[in-house]
Amino acid sequence: MTEKTEKMDINGALEQKAELVNDVIAAAIKDFGGIPDRLREAIEYTLGAPGKRVRAAIVLWCCEVAAGKVNKDAEIAAAAIEMVHTYSLVHDDLPAMDDDDFRRGRPSCHKAFDEATAILTGDALLTMAFELLSTKISDATKAVEMIKTLAEAAGPAGMVAGQINDLLAQNGTSGNSDDLHNIHINKTAKMFCASALLGAIAGGASEEQKDLLGRFGLKLGLGFQIADDILDVSSNSTQLGKTAGKDAKQGKLTYPSIFGLEQSKEKACQIADEAIGILEPFGQKADVLKELAYLLLRRIR
């Protein structure tokens, strides 16, 4: 693993970005009129739960890399990707999917409310994200590019594909390391790639910069999912804020199930190194993104 040279408080930097996006999300929800009280309550419950906001931070930092500072378009895009991500968690927790009663350290949406409300909360979060992008981004061309980017990452050849293949693998279909790679790329990495691209688009990045940042996001997302697989084995539910040890119980296709714990850690390190390598052309401007990759690794050591 490449050694870093300068100390940076990446946890503090991540918390700052989380605070910023939490404010943007709260203002955006307030702005949506006509939402029935129970649905609004469930939306606020799920979106207000303490997520790490990693995807939002990637949007904001990639905008900084491209434009030197965060702008309003990046803030809106950061809120939008967290809405889509949160919808996916709400639906994933449902009994028909991963069936988890515990999320972000709290009862999951269908436990705190009921299944129908959780399904509709997910539906609302997904559509709100696209309404936000289509109405609040400053420039129509940028808005369309962002909508396309997010839709492709979250849709039937992206996160939804990853989810159905994940569920099918868990239900007994045999799977190999290629199947596992495809699930992780689709279920998780494409949303990280989209986060990086949304920030790049907001910051007016060149095509070359978008390509680099998108490739970084994809690699980081893959590393993040491998780390998530590892943590499911090596952490407890309190540390995770969700039920630990479920992957093995459900017979899921994961890195530890195919490669074992140690080799999975080595692979995560190698992928983080590759992600950091992609950022080299940006020099110090991308240091915070590199630190994020190091943080990912510290979680599994």
Residues of this chain that interact with ligand GRG (CB under 6 A) are: 51-52, 54, 85, 88-89, 91-92, 104, 159-160, 163, 187-188, 225, 228
Output the CA torsion sign for 234, 96, 188, 134. negative
User: How many CB atoms within 10 Å of residue 274?
Assistant: 16
* Least gap, CB of 255 to ligand GRG (angstroms): 12
CB of 162 to ligand GRG, least distance (A): 7
Contacts of 128-132 with C-beta under 8 Å, sequence gap 24+, read 128/28, 128/29, 128/32, 128/43, 128/83, 129/79, 129/80, 129/81, 129/83, 129/84, 129/87, 130/80, 131/32, 132/28, 132/76, 132/79, 132/80, 132/83
| Min dist. Cβ of residue 262 to ligand GRG (A) | 21
Q: At closest approach, how far in Å is the CB of 75 from ligand GRG?
A: 17
Whichever of 52 and 72 has its CB closer to ligand GRG, that residue is: 52
Q: Are 77 and 59 in contact (CB under 8 A)?
A: yes
Question: Which tokens hold the place of 10?
Answer: 């990446």
Q: Which residue sits closest to ligand GRG, CB atoms considered?
A: 51
Q: Which is nearer to ligand GRG, 52 or 148 (CB)?
A: 52
Nearer to ligand GRG, 102 or 282 (CB): 102
Q: How many helices (H) and strands (E) does the chain have?
A: 16, 2
Q: How far is the CB of 143 from ligand GRG (least distance, A)?
A: 23
Nearer to ligand GRG, 71 or 88 (CB): 88
Residue pair 293/223 in contact (Cβ under 8 Å)? The answer is yes
State which residue, 91 or 290, has the beta carbon closest to ligand GRG.
91
**Which residue is it, tokens 């080799």?**
263
Q: How far is the CB of 51 from ligand GRG (least distance, A)?
A: 3
Separation between Cα atoms, residue 114 and residue 119, nearest integer Å: 9
CB of 85 or CB of 143, closer to ligand GRG: 85
State the nearest-atom distance from the C-beta of 2 to ligand GRG, in Å: 24
Q: Which residues contact 289 (CB under 8 A, 6 or more apart)?
A: 58, 61, 62, 65, 216, 220, 279
Nearer to ligand GRG by Cβ, of 91 and 205: the residue is 91
Q: Which two tokens stand for residue 26?
A: 């709260």
